[in-house]
């Protein structure tokens, strides 16, 4: 019984370790922390393995654990969260504007944890609003508003006048972002 | 294909940047499958021991935490207070709690201030919790009797458990808490976290520190709330306590407004959580998200039910002007005078109108309710983007002139011909007898509150 559980679990984690580490790294921006996150997540996965197997998708299940582990961590033991370095990527992909790419990556890294997690799930993991809501444990409306806020923040980061205040952005920018995240979402998947 | 806009940030750029970040060369992994199995088995053993000893699961979690020696016990040895009003739930027609006062300006960065009067106010109401956000402030509220004190944690129900996982409780303010001064005479606790934040300046990421100060307090016997500030500038404890002490619970809160009204629903339908709401104000011809000022709290996502069937509703004030959905296209049809697309999402059917009188409207339900969704949409009245026309009664009194079919007839996958040829309803204030002027009914912030000086730093 335990042997079967261990074998299945080990096979699954071995196959998914790389993608889980990438997701964790995007969330926390630090490979060492990413490994800690994945370690904690797969331990929880082991505890809940029978339920995970019974779920529609084990991948979705463990992804949700990683994201929630990351968000929960931000609310606990503060010492571990203060990292002293923030390394910028050194090699953007071909065909992209390197400066824009670096700025974008830094801007994404600067988003609040929940907004960053929302963007990563939506635009890296390609989850729908509903799937993202399920992972984050919130309503689809919250996902939309978090997406809108994140896009507004990125828009501010890329605006010509970087001193633009949030107040300026929220009245107009969030409307644009919200329309992008909410109103036009409906037909993008149609 | 996601939208790419010249305005703002193209979403493809975000996806590309994320993939570039993730695809960088990875250092050697330190993840140990064997360690995970060992630790996992140890946890399972502890659980079995606790169950054998008859210790409740919540207490077991606390004991496990203490066993690894990482958590203090600042809540002391107070006996757990009796819960009052067990079984209470929040409604979906008005928020249970609102900010009574917030500082007019909030430091957003060393050289910046954000104006909370114009920052977004939005929130969610779940069955057993409510959350309200304005600027860096987030308020979470739980009804009396729903949270439990367990060791050094205050554990509250989780409305959104992991799929297939038992409903494990959520911790208010985390677990590293210390005693705080009483709030309005009731016990309170602090947690103070520090986050690393990377800001962009001249193309370079610069690390700085953000502070999360979280205050948990018992706002009524057995009822718990937490107030967090996710700002870059660490707010003073006095400021946090001042904001918390002014929060209004229950009583006469501003009702949600609804930008569409359901008519001719059969039986007794009601609005139920979860619901998301946003504060809007009309400025000229535009709607703007608003902060702690007069405005209308629009219920954007909510659900209606008759007890047997539940329909999810999304009425968004930002319509789409995209035109892919035209008559004749697969999955597109005209109902109630509006172009509507039909699609299946995660096992549910969803019909949506990208531009229904300047609203984006969708209804979702189970597959067997698709016919019902068509008929409900056919009888909806869209109230447009003017908050003065919105209603506090989204379900109109029943009319016998056009009864809906019973649920057995709702399996019809197609709308009736009459539905698809219905004339366009005219949204106007006169069609919504229940709408009231928003400004005169907004208790979200009193005039004195909106002119209050900033709290002492």
Q: Is B362 on the interface with A (CB under 8 A)?
A: yes
For A154, nearest residue in chain B (alpha carbons): B9
Gap from A129 CA to chain B (nearest CA, Å): 10
Residues of chain A found within 8 Å of residue B273, distances taken between Cβ atoms: none
Query: Counting Cβ atoms within 10 Å, is residue B222 exposed (0-12), middle (13-18) or buried (19+)?
Result: buried
Q: Indicate whether B69 pLDDT > 50.
A: no
Domain boundaries, chain A: 1-79, 97-190
What is residue B137's three-state secondary structure?
strand
Label residue B450 by pLDDT band (50, 70, 90).
very low
Instruction: Measure the CA–CA gap between B95 and B135, rounded to whole angstroms.
Output: 18
For residue B384, pLDDT over 70 is answered with: yes
* Of the candidates A60, A27, A174, the residue with the CA atom closest to the CA atom of residue A128: A60
A-chain residues within 8 Å CB-CB of B112?
Answer: 163, 165-166
Q: Give the chain B residue nearest A190 (alpha carbons).
A: B343
- Among A93, A111, A180, most B C-beta atoms within 10 A, so best to mutate, is A180
pLDDT at B425: 28
How far apart (Å, rounded) are the C-alpha atoms in residues A71 and B175?
Answer: 14
Q: Within 13 A of B456's CA, how many CA atoms are on the CB side?
A: 3
Q: Between A76, A104, A140, which is nearest B301 by CB?
A: A140
Q: Between A29, A51, A102, which is nearest B165 by CB?
A: A51
Substitution target from B200, B210, B301, B362 for chain A, most A beta carbons within 10 A? B200
Q: What is the reported pTM?
A: 0.53
Helix axis angle, A129-136 to A140-157, nearest 10°: 100
A-chain CB neighbours of B134 within 8 Å are none
Q: 3-state secondary structure string, B368-400?
A: HHHHHHHHHHHCEEECCCCHHHCECCCECCCCC
What confidence tens digit (pLDDT) does each residue in A68-100 have? 888 866 543 332 232 222 232 222 232 334 445
- CA gap B185, B168 in Å, rounded: 30
pLDDT above 70 for B456:
no
Choose among A86, A88, A150, A140: nearest CA to A114. Answer: A150
Judge whether residue B135 has pLDDT over 80. Answer: no
Which residues in chain A have their CB less than 8 angstroms from residue B325's CB? 187, 190
Q: Given an 8 Å threshold on Cβ–Cβ distance, is B301 in contact with A17?
A: no
User: Average pLDDT of B146-165?
Assistant: 65
Q: Strand order in B148-150's β-sheet?
A: B148-150, B153-156, B170-171
Chain B closest-CA separation from residue A180 CA (Å): 8
Across the range A49-67, mean pLDDT stands at 83
Q: In chain B, helix, strand, coil percent, each to 5? A: 20, 35, 45
The domain segmentation of chain B, as residue ranges, is: 53-117+127-160+167-251, 260-441
- Give A124's DSSP letter: I
How much is the pLDDT for B185? Answer: 94
| CATH assignment of A97-190, among 3.40.50.2300, 1.25.40.420, 1.10.10.10, 1.10.150.20 | 1.10.10.10
| Nearest Cβ partner for A171 among B40, B118, B346 | B118
Structural tokens at position A56: 């529609």
Q: How many CB atoms lie within 10 A of CB A118?
A: 30
Structure tokens at A148: 């809108």
CA–CA distance, A135 with A158 (Å, rounded to integer): 29
pLDDT at res. B198? 41
Q: Judge whether A160 and A127 are in contact, CB under 8 Å.
A: no
The continuous run of DSSP H or E covering A35 comes out as helix A31-47
DSSP state of A27: H
- B residues 193-212 closer than 8 Å to A (CB): 193-201, 203-207, 209-210, 212
Q: Is the pLDDT of residue B395 over 90?
A: yes
Interface membership of B319 toward A (CB under 8 Å): yes
Average pLDDT, chain B: 67
Q: In this complex, do B160 and A105 lie within 8 Å of one another by their Cβ atoms?
A: no
Q: Is B21 an interface residue toward A (CB < 8 Å)?
A: yes
How many angstroms separate the first and last alpha carbons of chain B?
A: 48
pLDDT of amino acid B289: 64
In this structure, how many other beta carbons lie within 10 angstroms of the beta carbon of residue A63?
Answer: 21
**What was the pLDDT predicted at A107?**
78
- Test the B interface: residue of A141, A147, A164 with most B CBs within 10 Å: A141
Mean pLDDT over residues A56-72, rounded?
85
- Rounded to whole angstroms, how far apart are CA atoms B147 and B139? 15
A82 → closest Cβ in B111, B196, B318 = B196
- The CATH fold assigned to A1-79 is Rna Polymerase Sigma Factor; Chain: A (1.10.1740)
Highest mean pLDDT among B76-80, B201-205, B213-217, B395-399: B213-217
Please give the pLDDT value at position B329.
64
Are the Cβ atoms of B316 and A43 closer than 8 angstroms? no
Q: Which residue of A has its CA nearest to B289?
A: A171
Tell me which H or E stretch contains A113.
helix A113-119
Which single residue is written with the structure tokens 């809160």? Answer: B253
A-chain CB neighbours of B163 within 8 Å are 55-56, 60-61, 64, 134
Q: Across the interface, do B207 and A85 touch by the CB < 8 Å criterion?
A: yes
CA A187 → CA A35, B186, B311, B313, distances in Å? Answer: 38, 50, 20, 16
Percent of chain B exceeding pLDDT 70 equals 56
Q: Is A76 exposed, middle or buried (0-12, 13-18, 19+ CB in 10 A)?
A: middle
CB A69 within 8 A of CB A113: no
- Give the residue from chain A lying closest to B207, CA to CA: A86
- pLDDT higher than 80, residue B417: no
CA–CA gap between residue A71 and residue A156 (Å, rounded) = 24
Cβ partners under 8 Å of residue B185, min gap 6: none
Of B336, B326, B135, B122, residue with least CA distance to B229: B135
Q: Is A189 helix (H, G, I), strand (E, B) or coil?
A: coil
Residue B344 has pLDDT above 90, yes or no: no
CB contact under 8 A, A186 and B341: yes
Residues 41-100 in B contacting A (C-alpha not used; CB under 8 Å):
41, 43-44, 70
Contact B134, B45 (CB under 8 A): no
Q: B164 vs A183: CB contact, 8 Å cut-off? A: no
Least confident stretch, A67-76, A103-112, A160-169, B359-368: A160-169
Which range, B23-32, B263-272, B309-318, B339-348, is most confident? B263-272
Please confirm whether the linkage preceding B110 is cis (ω < 30° from 0). Answer: no
Range in A21-35, A91-105, B171-185 the model is least confident about: A91-105
Q: CB contact, 8 Å: B286 with chain A? A: yes
pLDDT at B109: 56
Between the two ends of chain A, the Cα-to-Cα distance in Å is: 45
Contact by Cβ (8 Å): B192, A78:
yes
HEC readout, B90-109 = CCCCCCCEECCCCCCEEEEE
pLDDT of residue B10: 66
Determine how many CB atoms are found less than 10 A away from the CB of residue B64. 14
**pLDDT per residue over B14-23, tens digit each?**
888 888 888 8
- What CA–CA distance (Å, rounded) separates B72 from B70? 7
Residue B46 pLDDT class (50, 70, 90 cuts): low
| Range with top average pLDDT, A89-103, B8-22, B197-211, B373-387 | B373-387
Q: Which of B15, B36, B158 is the best substitution to test chain A (most A C-beta atoms within 10 A)?
A: B36
Q: B278 — contact with chain A (CB < 8 Å)? A: yes
């Amino acid at each position: 019984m335990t042997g079967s559980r261990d074998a299945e679990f080990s096979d699954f984690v071995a196959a998914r370790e790389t993608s889980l580490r990438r997701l964790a790294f995007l969330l926390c921006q630090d490979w060492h922390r990413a490994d800690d996150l994945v370690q904690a997540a797969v331990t929880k996965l082991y505890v809940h393995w029978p339920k995970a197997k019974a779920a529609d998708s084990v991948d979705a299940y463990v992804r949700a654990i990683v994201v929630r582990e990351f968000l929960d961590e931000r609310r606990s033991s503060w010492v571990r969260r203060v990292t002293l370095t923030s390394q910028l990527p050194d090699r953007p992909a071909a065909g992209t504007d390197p400066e824009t790419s670096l700025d974008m990556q830094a801007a994404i890294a600067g988003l609040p944890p929940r907004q960053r997690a929302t963007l990563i799930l939506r635009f890296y993991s390609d989850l729908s609003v509903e799937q993202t809501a399920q992972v984050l444990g919130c309503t689809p409306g919250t996902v939309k508003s978090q997406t809108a806020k994140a896009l507004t923040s990125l828009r501010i980061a890329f605006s010509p006048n970087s001193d633009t205040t949030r107040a300026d952005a929220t009245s107009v920018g969030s409307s644009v972002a919200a329309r992008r995240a909410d109103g036009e979402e409906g037909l993008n998947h149609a | 294909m996601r939208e790419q806009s010249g305005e703002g940030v193209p979403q493809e750029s975000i996806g590309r940047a994320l993939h570039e970040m993730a695809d960088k060369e990875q250092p050697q992994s330190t993840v140990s499958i064997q360690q995970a199995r060992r630790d996992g088995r140890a946890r399972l053993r502890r659980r079995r021991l606790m169950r054998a000893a008859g210790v409740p699961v919540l207490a077991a979690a606390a004991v496990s935490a203490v066993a690894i020696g990482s958590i203090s016990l600042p809540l002391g040895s107070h006996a757990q207070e009796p819960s009052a009003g067990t079984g209470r739930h929040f409604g979906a027609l008005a928020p249970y709690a609102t900010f009574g006062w917030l500082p007019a300006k909030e430091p957003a960065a060393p050289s910046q201030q954000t104006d909370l009067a114009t920052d977004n106010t939005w929130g969610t109401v779940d069955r057993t919790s409510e959350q309200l956000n304005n600027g860096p402030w987030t308020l979470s509220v739980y009804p009396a009797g729903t949270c439990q004190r367990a060791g050094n944690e205050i554990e509250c129900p989780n409305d959104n458990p992991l799929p297939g996982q038992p409903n494990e409780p959520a911790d208010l303010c985390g677990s590293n808490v210390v005693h705080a001064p009483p709030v309005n005479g009731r016990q309170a606790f602090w947690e103070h976290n520090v986050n690393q934040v990377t800001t962009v300046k001249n193309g370079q990421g610069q690390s700085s520190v953000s502070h999360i100060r979280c205050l948990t307090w018992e706002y009524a016997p057995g009822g718990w709330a937490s107030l967090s500030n996710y700002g870059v500038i660490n707010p003073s404890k006095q400021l946090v306590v001042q904001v918390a002490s002014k929060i209004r619970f229950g009583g006469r809160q501003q009702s949600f407004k609804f930008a569409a009204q359901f008519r001719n629903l059969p039986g007794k339908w009601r609005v139920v959580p979860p619901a998301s709401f946003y504060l809007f104000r009309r400025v000229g011809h535009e709607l703007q998200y608003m902060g702690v000022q007069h405005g209308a709290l629009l219920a954007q996502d909510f659900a209606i039910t008759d007890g047997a069937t539940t329909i999810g509703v999304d009425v968004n004030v930002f319509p789409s002007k995209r035109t892919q959905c035209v008559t004749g296209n697969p999955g597109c049809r005209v109902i109630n005078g509006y172009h509507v697309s039909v699609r299946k999402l995660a096992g549910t059917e969803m019909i949506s109108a990208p531009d229904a009188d300047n609203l984006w409207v969708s209804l979702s339900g189970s597959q067997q309710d698709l016919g019902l969704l068509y008929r409900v949409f056919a009888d909806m009245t869209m109230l447009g983007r003017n908050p003065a026309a919105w209603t506090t009664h989204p379900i109109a009194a029943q009319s016998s002139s056009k009864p809906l079919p019973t649920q057995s007839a709702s399996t019809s996958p197609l709308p009736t011909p009459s539905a698809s040829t219905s004339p366009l309803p005219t949204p106007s204030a006169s069609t919504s007898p229940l709408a009231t002027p928003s400004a005169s009914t907004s208790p979200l912030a009193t005039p004195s509150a909106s002119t209050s000086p900033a709290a002492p730093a």
